[in-house]
Amino acid sequence: MSEEPDTAVSSRTERKALEKAKLLQRESERKIFRLVGRVLKKPEAERSEEEAGVLLLHRDTVEELSKRQVRRNVLKRKQEEVFDDAEELKSKVRQLAVAVKQASHLVIYTGAGISTAASIPDYRGPNGVWTQLQKGRTVSSSDLSKAVPTFTHMCIRMLHKEKLVCTSCSPVREYVRLFDVTERTSLHRHTTGRRCSHCGGELRDTIVHFGERGTLEQPLNWKGAAEAAKMADVIVCLGSSLKVLKKYACLWCMNRPASKRPKLYIVNLQWTPKDDLALLKINGKCDDVMSLLMEELNIQIPAYNRADDPIFYLASPLGPEEVKSHSREIIAPPTGLEDRSADPEEQTEVTSVQGGWFGRGYGKGMKKKKKAA
Instruction: Please give the Cα distance from 209 to 185 (Å, whole number).
Output: 9
- Cα–Cα distances (Å) from 274 to 42, 113, 175, 267, 365, in that order, read 37, 16, 35, 11, 31
- Determine whether the annotation assigns residue 169 to a binding site: yes
CB 303 within 8 A of CB 288: no
Residues 6+ apart with CB under 8 A from 306: 148, 312, 333, 334
- Determine whether the annotation assigns residue 196 to a binding site: yes
Counting every residue written for the chain, the total comes to: 373
Cα pseudo-dihedral 160, 297, 125, 225, rounded to 10: 30
> CB atoms < 10 A from the CB of 366, how many?
14
CB 212 within 8 A of CB 188: yes
Residues of the binding site: 166, 169, 196, 199
Residues of the binding site for Zn(2+): 166, 169, 196, 199
